Structure 1
Amino acid sequence: MTYTKQLSIAAVVLAIAGGGAFVALRGTPPAAAPAAAAVAGATPELMPELHAMLAAYRKIIVLLADEKTLSESDRKAAGQVGQSLFHENLERLSKVQAMLARTQALPPAQRDAADDGLLSYIESAADLYDADRLAFREVLLSLQKLAAADQTLPAIKLHKRVSEDLAALEDIEKQYDKEINDIFSRFDTRAITPKRERWDDYVAHLRKLYGREQIMKDYGVIVPYPEPPKSAEQEVQAKEIFGNALPPKTVVLTFDDGPHKSYTEEVAAILKQYNVPGVFFQVGQNLGKLDAQGKQTLSANAAESRRLIDAGHTVGNHSFSHALLSKQQGQQLYGEIANADQLLKATDARRSDLFRFPYGAHNAEGLSILSKLGLRSVMWNIDSLDWADPVPSSIANRVLTTLSKEQRGIILFHDIHERSVKALPLVLDKLIADGYSFAAWDGHEFKVAHGGRPEPEKIAVSTGYANSYAVVIGINDYQKWPKLQYAVQDAKAIRDTLVNRFGFAGERVFTLSNGEATRNNILALFHDKLADAQLKKDDRIFVFFAGHGATRQLSSGRNLGYIIPVDSDPQQVSVDAIPMTDLQNIAESLNAKHVLFVMDACYSGLGLTRGGGNSAFLRDNARRLGRQMLTAGGADQMVADGGPNGHSVFTWTLLQALNGKADLNGDGLITATELAAYVAPAVASVSQQTPAFGSLPGSEGGEFVFQLPAEAEFLSAQSAQLSADAIALNSKLDKGRDQKADGNTVLVKNLQGEEQKIAAPKPVDASSRQLAQRANDKGLQLYKEKQYAQAEAAFTEALKYRPDFGLAANNLGFVYYKQEKYAEAARWFENTLQIDTSRAIAYLNLGDARMHLGDSDKAKKAYASFLELAPNHANAGYAKEQLKKL
């Protein structure tokens, strides 16, 4: 491709203070600048890597843009994730460099087109801001070196063009200096800061693309709250070396992640020029490799390590592969430390006994391994952020500003980037001018060579019941009344919920269905069965009736409600039906603390009163009798059938409420009032029914209480979810209930047709463990309704309360998996296994995620671990089939 005019890049860089998007770095051909799609077509292998590099670069900016406002724990976590992104980009850069080398070996026409496509994208892609282009500096430097090695005319032209681009990046760097320095600085400025709309514009644009907390969560990190106590951390720190113990105005210069084939040598040359020592923490795989028998093969970089030691610098261990060692254990963790040490010894026996954990992240086992190997951990207290900040002067300003407050410290640099090399002289000039000394490791310490307690668990809330009884009645096949379709199925579902979810003993749940539910049998069940049970004063009784109801007006004008047994005659309701006054009398005579009637039938004729909770709810509730009733609707209303799974709308809503939706105040308890406050407005919003609720005569204001069980399901591919019609109805129910509620307060009718305002009890004090469990339970509920974004937020909340909650970690991973975010899912399944190595289902999930990522070796290992832990699991056959495919 030929250009009619070749312009210097620096001449066309826009003045950043003027605002607006970055238009072009170079002159453009007569036609418009290449579109992104055309560029991608010209370099199909390279462009995805460049896009991924840019995305990671942008995420690092977002992670640290609010650093001044972050807590120490937030800042540390953001730094660890940022360094993960940074090291991922190092791997991408290595791939890009290999691709560029292959490109230069192509036939001239293909090579020139590919080079032009790459440079046109960096120079003039319309969707790039000028700050974005700084992400590609190392790519341009690599291309420049390749061009310099070729003396042909096209290579000379390419070298000139790349050199112009690099010069333009220098101009961008200078223009953005103040903006980026302000963004990355940890400290407030002392003077009035002018408004810098260009940089604010850029960061605002990035925040639309990425959120800091989401980036961290995607990389397996959630910052907990409340902040963990410091006592254990301080104990760990006592075993390590930190810069705050150095004498005043003393610093140690440390450089991580090398040796690099060119930048390490440049850093050493600068240190020699200033006559100051450095400590280089090196990654084992950069020095060489080990075979299965442990035999070392050193690479060319090992020579650079020896030269550092010869020059008087210290070389230490930075693990074998720069893995996140806080999430490793056993032989894998040991190998990361010991294998790197073995390669360092092979490189030069004079290697030091210093070790730096990648990202500064470790666990107790890692520190124990260091002790066994005779190594010492060295941390830092001054982070240059050179891995994140693209501007050398900004890096230098950060180090100097931090030192002005700390007055001493171990400084963290990296010897693998050009910007670090550029920043180092700026730092050294100022430190020497300010009279700082530079300490070196003498084998025992750093010397200048010359002149909280855990949160106590609160007592778990308890309903305080002795025994739980239930009467469950469902009638479809009436003899003389219209037949129903769903009542028996409703009764069965309620019984199963009471037994399987709330722990009612099966022998204490008395059930009558269809022909069994005669008038005599129903009354006998109350008078005889419950009497024979020898009820105690701390027992509770739950009564559920699904069938016909009727209302008859008395001569006084007062309505009286009836439930209709299977053998009742419509013409003889007052004789062979059961009036609600009888149920009132039965309820009042029962020797139990709390009784709750839930009637999936419509009628009128009970005078109900209201009993409420207060701030001392559980304590007071244990002393007060409770007799309450919730009905499906009033007189002349029809029960709405046709709900999901063969249920009436009322019973379906009741089941969802008992599944957790009625825990309106989030205390892990569902009171009868909360049940009504969810069910009544929800049912009324989707049907012609107006459910009613209140307390029966004889009630003293006590509340029937369900204690929600702690969900223990580890989500997997076999986890059940609701059908589409069930999800649709639940959405309508939730929306309808919310529209009729004012917070946790709603208007609900009593059986006289009058409105009463009811509200849920206030939450009880709960521990972090309890709050985490509730958030996880909420996440499971949302997952079953396929509300993945909300489920993700709930599981995240659980992990904020309890970072070691393996159940929530797995479930968060599976929500990612369902959204086809397999890399993020794999990180969280690995987190789960770090918390609980015996959790078989997490290995199965991890295997599935790794399969989708194309990582067959790790998938195979995960499936094998699953089968080893659970050889008889229902999914063992599936795991074996997956292994056969690998």
Structure 2
Amino acid sequence: MKFNYLIAAAISLSGIAGAAYLYQSTPLGAAKVLAQAADAQTELPEELPALLKAYRQTIVLLADEKTLNEKERKEAIRVGSALFHDNLARLKKLEARLEQTSSLSASQRLSYVDGILNYIESGDNLYDADRLAFREVLTYLQRLVAKEQTLPAVKQHKRISEDLSALAEIEQNYDQELKAIFARFETRSIELKREKWDDYLTKLRKIYQREQILKDYGVILPYPEIPDASAEKEIFGRGLPPKTVVLSFDDGPHASYTQEIAAILKQYNVPAVFFEVGRNVGSIDAQGKEKLNKNADISKSLKAAGHALANHSYSHALLSKESGDNLRAEIGQTDQLLKAIDPSRSPLFRFPYGAKNKEGMELLSKLGLRSVMWNIDSLDWADPVPNSIVERVLSSVEKEQRGIILFHDIHERTVKALPLVLDKLIADGYRFAAWDGSEFKVGKERQAAPEKVSLGSEYQDSWAVVIGINDYQKWPKLQYAVQDANAIRDTLINRFGFAREKVITLSNAEATRNHILAAFHDQLGHGKLKKDDRVFIFFAGHGATRQLSSGRNLGYIIPVDSDPAQLSVDAIPMTDLQNIAENLQAKHVFFVMDACYSGLGLTRGGNAAFLKDNAKRLGRQMLTAGGADQLVADGGPNGHSVFTWTLLQALNGKADLNGDGIITATELAAYTAPAVAGMSAQTPAFGSLPGSEGGEFIFELRAETEYLSAKTNQLSSEEIALNNKLSVVAAKPGSEAPIVIKNLNGGEQKISAPKLVQGSSRQLAQRANDQGLQFYKEKQYAEAEAAFTEALKYRPDFALAANNLGFVYFKQQKYPEAARWFENTISMDPSRAIAYMNLGDALARSADKEKARKAYQSYLELAPNSSNVTYVREALKKLN
């Protein structure tokens, strides 16, 4: 079981985070909590303050790690790890204590859990940062309460879920403070001040001192030691070839996380060594006979997958303090159990905490075992934030260039961090060595990793200039431009997270020549942009072309105050947009021009998409609605142009041609250009502007989280009709056929569609669910049903897909089938209120009025202030 107890985020001590996110309840002092617990004939568990104490002590140990010398740092980490395992033991005791509450009545059990929750949420003298010490307690309580089927238990389950969501958001919000504690990077020239976190540390240091903590755990730092000759027999990883690493995982096997890690390793086709704790796989009876438990099957599957099984002691004891029979038992019993699992187990051993003594090293030699250490420490046992773990590992690998990486397969955060680490290491050309019986070596069969692209924009800020003009003063008025611009603005903000204040919008009379140029020069110029920013520019309005004396055509966009007779004076030539793009201090700039004659945006063509190092390359790109001699069609749904409607569908996810959750400018063009050309007399053009270095503008799609219900909007008949046409002429996800589109000079270019990315089972499930939502909104119910079914094949416990599949059945009037899936959803997530409403609807139409009434009432209990309350109350009236 994971235990995310260690260094939490540096949280505002004024209680802002807690007030905003943690479950709102009446503050209870310690005495009141104990009194409430006494009503349930029990006490507040003594393990809770002990967990908090160890958590605080570890913060004091590691808060200023960068100031410690190597010996101090090593001992601080070792004792911190010991504190961690002490808390694991406390957690097991607490779980056993909670299991004993089964002898109490249901109301007493719930009251007892309430006492614990009240202490965690509002106990006296608890800082918000302290509450992260109890994350695993909340996780266990959530599972315990889920066993109850009563409505009070469901409400309590919801309360715990909200607390866990609060902790997750707090961790994310204070990622920098965690990095400041754990990341071993060079000191920056300017150190950011974090007074509130410092206040918290000052408070803790008045209670605990590092030296005393170390001494309490049997550590007094000695003078420098004479190097031990036996250390030469150990494997640290520094002797590996350049750009070669070994993945190692300690402390397992874990009932679920080890298998998830094994699945990730299989996906990337890389080997690992699993250093297992003996008591996790079995025991030795009084007659000296081994008895394996169910976790041993996990170990066997690891061996069958090509990974090495290795010894990590029997009980994870501090072996530097052990000797004689105890030391022999710790090493020998685990060796016996591993041989029972697989006679060819590896002869590798890792001392818990890296702590060893001379006797232990001699014993290894007698047993034919070799000590394996590490030179790259993920600190995943301490750091609760996956991104921080990733940065630490990658920074260490960059410094060491080779070595053994230490992970632990008993934490969810390790599961989340591992794919990010592997993506980067594979992209940087690192090889993964396996134990071949005598040494760590890269096998030929391990060289080829599956193609997997995982891109991150790494943008700092996102800016946009969105212009739409209908009411021209001296040009024909338009009907669609402002509507198009507003839809693009809303998509940027709501779909892609652009800050509203950074989306500059100019409509009709605001869109004068001076205002448009000022948006670029004044609002985006003068140092306001940073080198890692992105800028998106959208223009919907008139365009024009003028032939120069040289015979070359020059394109213009037309501001609202432009005079057709003064085109060269008060219109904006496309060459000016080129210059603007080249001068903007941003990583990526992308122009999308929905205007007549907008194809003349470039003096040279070409496009290069170097996805691997996209973050390092400048990108200046343009996508236009039509060629230099073409009018733009405005026959799209809801007053949109055909081009902008297609663009909106592309941004909604249809342009993610390789399924990696990211839409590049090239993918956007590859989807939009053939689709628009196939439905109108327009041939959109795409290419790179002067100053581009091949970088790609990137849109990162957010995973769909909508639970379908009677309130979910679907597309109109007109919108569905156009989307059906799009499905015929647009580029298809996963297709590898070249796509021919116009470049910005009027010539042709071929774009190779990216190959479909496989991803993890979780990613594939989410992708299928997102596709199902698109199909549902287009009323393609058979396709939606197939997509949600696919999602559940990848993730059988995916409550979101279960609900959505149920609602597809509901829309097809298959009410009994729908009710079953809504019940499945509730089984997976008992606090999901919308599923109760959907279940009520399905049961009502199945004429099961009594069950429908209960489902509706459960919804009202769980979501008394939701927007669906009126709908549910009306449904209840109809049942009477």
TM-score (structure 2 length as normaliser): 0.48
